[in-house]
C-alpha cells in the first residue's frame, strides 16, 4: 500500500486511506472480497471525486506485467489492460497498421478511466472513446470476474459505469486500418461565422475544435484535423476557414501558457496517433494547477446554448484559461453524456480559483438548463441527483445493474450518491 496524493493537476486531493496495486487477478479478487470499500483509480485525470473512495483505491497498472495488447484481425479489435494509456496503445497499433476511430485531446489518459466517464475527442461523426468498446472484463462486488460483450444484456450500462460495477481489468476496443491525418490551425474565427454556420464549421473535417474566451472577437483558434485519403482532393481551406486565417507559425498550448507541447501542425500529413490528440505524449499536457468543467447539449441547440453562455462572458473571463468547443456523435450507452443525441461539448479550463469557479457553476448550469444540459462525469459541476437522473432515461436500469453487480456496495462512494442517488 502507498499514499494516494492528488490528481494530475494538483486540484483534487484524494481522501482514500491508501492506494493498492495488485499484481495478479487472484490478488485483486482477494482484495475485493476482503475490503468493505474500494474503487478503481486510473491515470488521475478526473477533477472531482468520481474515482475516490471512503476506503482504499486500486490501480490495475501492475496486473498484467509487460503483457502486450492482443489484436484480433478477424474481429478488428484489440484487447488491453485497463490501465494502458491511449498513447501506449497508439504506439503499438500504428506500426501494426491499425488505428482507433478517435483520440482525446490528451493521449496520456488511461483507457479504463476514459471509457468509464464518457471521455471523448471531436468530430460530428465520431462517438466518444467509450463507443469503441466491444467488450470489457471486470471483477464485481462478489469477486467474480465477468466479461460483457456488445450485444449482451446490460452491456450499454456497463461501459460508462463510473466505477460502480467493479474493477475493470481488460478492455476490448474496435480498431480499423491505419490512416493519415493533417492538422491545420486557423486564427480569429468570428462569432458570426461560428454561429451562422456552426454545423458546416464543425463538420468541415474529421475533427474540429474551437478555442476562445467568450470575448467579442470570437474564437482565437480553430484546430482542423482532416483525414488524408490517398489521392484526395486539394485541401479546401488553404487560404481561409470560414473567414479565419491560417496561423502563421506553430500554435503552442491553447491555454496560453506558451508551452511547446502540441502535436504537428501546418498541414503536414502524419499518423492518426500523432495528429488527433492536441498534445504530444512525451510532454506534460498542461502547466497543471487547473480546474476543468464540461457541459453537453444537443448539437441542434448549439447556437442558442452558445449565446446563453456568451452572455456570462464578463463573469467567466477573469477565471478562465480557455474554452474549447467539440462535437460528439450520439450513442446508446446509458450514462453517456451523448446518449441519444448528437452533442456539442462546451469545455472550460479554469484558473486555480476554486471558490470563484464553484460560484460560477450554478449560473452556467442555469443558463444551459433550457437545453437539457448534461455534465462530463469527471469534471466540476454542481448538479445533483434530483437534476441529473431525469436526464438519463436508463438511470433506474443502471441503478438496478449496479445493485446486481455490487450488492454489498463495495464500490459506492459519496459521488455516486450525490450524482445518481445510489444508496451508500
What pLDDT was estimated at residue 287? 60
More confident residue, 112 or 256: 112
Burial group, residue 391, by CB count within 10 angstroms (0-12, 13-18, 19+):
middle
Domains, the chain, ordered by start: 70-178 (3.30.465.10), 180-375 (3.30.70.2520)
What pLDDT was estimated at residue 268? 93
**Is there a contact between 146 and 138 (Cβ–Cβ < 8 Å)?**
yes
Cell of 187: 486564427
Distance CA 151, CA 168 (A): 18
Q: What is the pLDDT of residues 101-153, one digit of tens each?
A: 999 998 999 999 999 999 999 999 999 999 999 999 999 999 999 999 999 99
What pLDDT was estimated at residue 340? 98
Distance CA 357, CA 293 (A): 9
Quick one: average pLDDT of 268-291? 87
Q: What is the pLDDT of residues 303-345, one digit of tens each?
A: 999 999 999 999 999 999 999 999 999 999 999 999 999 999 9
Q: Is the pTM of this model over 0.85?
A: yes
Q: What is the pLDDT of residues 230-239, one digit of tens each?
A: 766 789 998 9
The backbone torsions φ and ψ at residue 161, rounded to the nearest 5 degrees and listed phi first, read -120, 0
DSSP-derived secondary structure for 164-198: -S-EEEEEEEE-EE--EEEEEEEEEE-HHHHHHTH
Report the share of the chain in percent with pLDDT over 70: 97
Query: At 3, is the secondary structure helix, strand, or coil?
Result: coil
Q: What is the pLDDT of residues 44-86, one digit of tens each?
A: 999 999 999 999 999 999 999 889 999 999 999 999 999 999 9
Whose grid coordinates read 491555454?
A: 255
What pLDDT was estimated at residue 255? 67
Q: What is the pLDDT of residues 174-231, one digit of tens each?
A: 999 999 999 999 999 999 999 999 999 999 999 999 999 999 999 999 999 999 987 6
Pairing of strands 56-58, 38-40: parallel
Average predicted confidence (pLDDT) for the chain = 95
Closest CA to 325 of 419, 191, 227, 235: 191
What pLDDT was estimated at residue 248? 80
Q: Pick the range with the lowest mean pLDDT from 93-107, 160-174, 242-256.
A: 242-256
**Is there a contact between 71 and 96 (Cβ–Cβ < 8 Å)?**
yes
Quick one: average pLDDT of 373-382? 98
**Is there a contact between 252 and 262 (Cβ–Cβ < 8 Å)?**
yes
- What are the Cα distances from residue 312, in Å, to 213, 234, 254, 308, 360? 11, 40, 21, 7, 9
Distance CA 36, CA 33 (A): 8
Distance CA 87, CA 1 (A): 27
Q: Indicate whether 302 pLDDT > 90.
A: yes
384's CB contacts (< 8 A; 6+ apart) are 418, 419
Under the banding of pLDDT at 50, 70 and 90, the label for residue 249 is confident
Under the banding of pLDDT at 50, 70 and 90, the label for residue 295 is very high
Quick one: average pLDDT of 19-35? 98
Amino acid at each position: 500500500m502507498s499514499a494516494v496524493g492528488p490528481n494530475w493537476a494538483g486540484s483534487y486531493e484524494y481522501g482514500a486511506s491508501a492506494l493498492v496495486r495488485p499484481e495478479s487477478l487472484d490478488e485483486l479478487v482477494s482484495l475485493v472480497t476482503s475490503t468493505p470499500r474500494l474503487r478503481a483509480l486510473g491515470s488521475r485525470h478526473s477533477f472531482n471525486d468520481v474515482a475516490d473512495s471512503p476506503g482504499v483505491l486500486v490501480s490495475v497498472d501492475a496486473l498484467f506485467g509487460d503483457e502486450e495488447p492482443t489484436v484480433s484481425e478477424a474481429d478488428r479489435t484489440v484487447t488491453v489492460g485497463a490501465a494502458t494509456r491511449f498513447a501506449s496503445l497508439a504506439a503499438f497499433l500504428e506500426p501494426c497498421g491499425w488505428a482507433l476511430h478517435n483520440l482525446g485531446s490528451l493521449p496520456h489518459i488511461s483507457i479504463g478511466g476514459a471509457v468509464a466517464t464518457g471521455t471523448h475527442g471531436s468530430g460530428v461523426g465520431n462517438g466518444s472513446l467509450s463507443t469503441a468498446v466491444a467488450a470489457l472484463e471486470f471483477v464485481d462486488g462478489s469477486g467474480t470476474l465477468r466479461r460483457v460483450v456488445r450485444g449482451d444484456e446490460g452491456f450499454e450500462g456497463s461501459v460508462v459505469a463510473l466505477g460502480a460495477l467493479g474493477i475493470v481489468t481488460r478492455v476490448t476496443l474496435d480498431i480499423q486500418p491505419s490512416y493519415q491525418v493533417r492538422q491545420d490551425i486557423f486564427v480569429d474565427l468570428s462569432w458570426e461565422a461560428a454561429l451562422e454556420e456552426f454545423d458546416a464549421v464543425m463538420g468541415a473535417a474529421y475533427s474540429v475544435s474551437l478555442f476562445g474566451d467568450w470575448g467579442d472577437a470570437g474564437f482565437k483558434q480553430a484546430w482542423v484535423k482532416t483525414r488524408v485519403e490517398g489521392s484526395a482532393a486539394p485541401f479546401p481551406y488553404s487560404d481561409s476557414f470560414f473567414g479565419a486565417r491560417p496561423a502563421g507559425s506553430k500554435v503552442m498550448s491553447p491555454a496560453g501558457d506558451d508551452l511547446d507541447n502540441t502535436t504537428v501542425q501546418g498541414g503536414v500529413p502524419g499518423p492518426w496517433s500523432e495528429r488527433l490528440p492536441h498534445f504530444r505524449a512525451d510532454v506534460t499536457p498542461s502547466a497543471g494547477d487547473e480546474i476543468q468543467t464540461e457541459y453537453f447539449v444537443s448539437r441542434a441547440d448549439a447556437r442558442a446554448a452558445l449565446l446563453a453562455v456568451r452572455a456570462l462572458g464578463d463573469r467567466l473571463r477573469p477565471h478562465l484559461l480557455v474554452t474549447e468547443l467539440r462535437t460528439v456523435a450520439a450513442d446508446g450507452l446509458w450514462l453517456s453524456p451523448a446518449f441519444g443525441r448528437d452533442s456539442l461539448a462546451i469545455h472550460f479550463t479554469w484558473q486555480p480559483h476554486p471558490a470563484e469557479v464553484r460560484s460560477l457553476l450554478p449560473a452556467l448550469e442555469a443558463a444551459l438548463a433550457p437545453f437539457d444540459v448534461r455534465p462530463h462525469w469527471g469534471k466540476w459541476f454542481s448538479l445533483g441527483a434530483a437534476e441529473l437522473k431525469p436526464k438519463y432515461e436508463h438511470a433506474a436500469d443502471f441503478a438496478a445493474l449496479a445493485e446486481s453487480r455490487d450488492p454489498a456496495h463495495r464500490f459506492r462512494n459519496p459521488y455516486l450518491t450525490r450524482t445518481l442517488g445510489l444508496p451508500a
